[in-house]
Amino acid sequence: MVFKRFLGAALSAVLLLSSAQLSVFADQPSSTPDNTTPVSFTDVSDHWAKDAIERWASMGVIVGEEGKFRPDDPLTRAEMAVILQRIMRYQTTSTDYFMELEEEWYVDAIQKLRAAGDMVGDENNRAMPSESITREAAVVLIARAFGIYPTQQELHYEDTESISSWAVGYVSALSQAGYVRGGDNNCFFPSAPLTRAAAVTIFNNMITACISESGDYDYRPFEGLADFVIIGADNVNILNFDIGGNILLTEGVDAETIRLKTVKHYGEIWQYTYDGFKQHLKVYSYIVPVNENLPVCSYDPSLFVKDENGIMTYDDPRYTTYFGVDVSSWQGDVDWHKLKEQGVYFAFIRLGYRGYETGVINLDTKFEENVQGALDAGIKVGVYFFSQALDADEAYEEAQFVLDNIKGYDISFPVVFDWETVSSDTARTNNIETEDLCQAANTFCNTIADAGYIPMVYCNQNVSMVYYELSRIQAFDFWYAEYKDQPTFYYNFDIWQYSDSAKLDGVPNANIDVNISFVDYSRLNP
């Protein structure tokens, strides 16, 4: 399937378009399964769409009139526009008005859908708001709103030839995705009006949650994967949820205030902007805006190859890669000559660390032994310091400590600022601000560079994209940690730590971290 404005996993639900005056959508839709009030209508008890109608009514998204829903009444084009606007929450209004708009209740929705490029008029610039919307017209409008391109997949409806040329590609795309299917006798009935019940069913199948108010949304009672989750408010926490499709942030939502907690997510995260959908990145339980000024990862994940000994290479003639390890006192005694024999080209040696509770700086008890052993074995050496700096002053102190202890050693690989989060309620860095962390990293790295060494920043995806503002540290090379067979980091990196549990001869009593570098730093002059 091809999407105009966002890509994601195909939804599993199937829409049955059955053969809309819609006061059905409330002003403030929300989706809070734990706090819904059952709603029933007198005319849906035996209807095929009863569950969908009552669910959306319970969430306050749809309302009836005098206790009735009229599920089989046709839906008008104006009513469909109101439905989509309530869901998509567009903010930009077109100043190019359709000719015949009269009723105030739908004008705003129609003109916003026009600005978004979803709704177009006929050859006479008419929106025809009071006319019933046909099944094929509804498919086109929904496809445009959700950014789905028309496709050329062959259709197998008995009445395929009756589908208008301007709609057939969209019907194909939504049929391919499993959003629509035929009715009686496998006919699509393109010219038949869409009913109120069918309209509710469309959005019930495509959208599991449509959130428009701040707060916590606990979906623990739900089982199975959700489809689209639409977030239309700041400060939303989604808890305990499997999301199989895309998360869509509506126009104007502050992505940095959205949190996913204990959520499994298999799709993409996007935000609508007036000029299209803008991608956001999912990082554990956070949503982070894409920084378009940073270089995107240029490596092809499929070209990373790990041999039977766990040594990673990158099978791309454009790059030469180098195998390395990093060690600390945790590895105990290391036979560096055996590591050299296994192809280790470089090693990062932990020089020291700052206590995460006390703030005291310590020299690694194995530093001198490890750095000299690696050099004696002919392995290129870099060093790293495990930082718990709270600010630039502490980072400067750490850098000076490093410089004092590497005098006399041939340090040809980078000197690394390794700031990490600590899973402890007593960690002194628990409440560090991004500004302070960025200043600390810059101070450390600039101090190292001023001394004639190559500085580098080490971190995983969470720290790099949630704690740091990457644009503030992009002047320095980046050592990225992710323990997988293929990296998933959105931005570029220079060294990848791909495992913390390798078994190598020469380290008999412990696992060892292993890395692949795309740069031979020993050949560079800082």
Q: Which tens digit of pLDDT belongs to each residue from 355-364?
A: 999 999 999 9
Assess whether 252 and 347 both reside in one domain.
no
* Domain end among 289, 315, 330: 289
What is the per-residue pLDDT across 69-119, written as a single tens digit (0 to 9) for each?
899 999 999 989 988 998 899 999 988 888 888 888 899 999 999 998 899
Note whether residue 274 is domain-resident.
yes
* Domain end among 168, 186, 206: 206
Number of structural domains in the chain: 3
DSSP symbol at 464: I
Assess whether 355 and 236 both reside in one domain.
no
- Residue 222 CB neighbour total at 10 angstroms: 14
Distance CA 165, CA 145 (A): 19
Note whether residue 381 is domain-resident.
yes
Note whether residue 78 is domain-resident.
yes
Assess whether 232 and 118 both reside in one domain.
no
Assess whether 152 and 226 both reside in one domain.
no
Note whether residue 18 is domain-resident.
no
- State the angle between helix axes of 77-88 and 135-145 in degrees (0 to 180), rounded to the nearest 10: 20
Pick from 298, 271, 312: nearest CA to 490? 298
Assess whether 305 and 397 both reside in one domain.
yes
Q: Does residue 354 register a pLDDT over 90?
A: yes
Assess whether 486 and 347 both reside in one domain.
yes
- Which SS3 state, helix, strand or coil, does residue 448 take? helix
Distance CA 374, CA 376 (A): 5
Q: What is the mean pLDDT of residues 476-496?
A: 95
Q: 425 exposed, middle or buried (CB, 10 Å; 0-12, 13-18, 19+)?
A: exposed
State whether the Cα torsion 242-244-250-253 is positive or negative.
Answer: positive
Assess whether 183 and 230 both reside in one domain.
no
Assess whether 215 and 193 both reside in one domain.
no
Note whether residue 27 is domain-resident.
no
302 dihedral zone (left: phi>0; alpha: psi -120 to 50; beta): alpha
Where is pLDDT greater, at 448 or 29? 448
What local confidence, expressed as pLDDT, does residue 221 receive? 66
What local confidence, expressed as pLDDT, does residue 314 receive? 95
Note whether residue 13 is domain-resident.
no
What local confidence, expressed as pLDDT, does residue 16 receive? 33
Assess whether 394 and 498 both reside in one domain.
yes
Pick from 323, 352, 350: nearest CA to 339? 323
Assess whether 329 and 281 both reside in one domain.
no
Note whether residue 49 is domain-resident.
yes
* Domain end among 183, 206, 229: 206
Q: What is the mean pLDDT of residues 212-219?
A: 88
Distance CA 22, CA 363 (A): 71
Distance CA 211, CA 188 (A): 32
Q: What is the mean pLDDT of residues 311-338?
A: 96
User: What CATH number does residue 471 fall under?
Assistant: 3.20.20.80
Q: What is the mean pLDDT of residues 212-228?
A: 78
Q: What is the mean pLDDT of residues 407-435?
A: 95
What local confidence, expressed as pLDDT, does residue 21 receive? 26
What local confidence, expressed as pLDDT, does residue 435 receive? 96
What is the per-residue pLDDT across 124-160, written as a single tens digit (0 to 9) for each?
888 999 999 999 999 999 988 887 789 988 899 999 9
Note whether residue 98 is domain-resident.
yes
Strands 276-283 and 361-363: unpaired
What local confidence, expressed as pLDDT, does residue 224 receive? 63
Q: What is the mean pLDDT of residues 445-462?
A: 97
Q: What is the mean pLDDT of residues 30-38?
A: 44
| Structural domain that includes position 198 | 33-206
What local confidence, expressed as pLDDT, does residue 209 receive? 85
Beta-bridged to residue 239, according to DSSP, are 218, 261
- Which SS3 state, helix, strand or coil, does residue 82 take? helix
Assess whether 224 and 95 both reside in one domain.
no
Assess whether 462 and 503 both reside in one domain.
yes
Where is pLDDT greater, at 102 or 336? 336
Mean pLDDT of the chain: 87
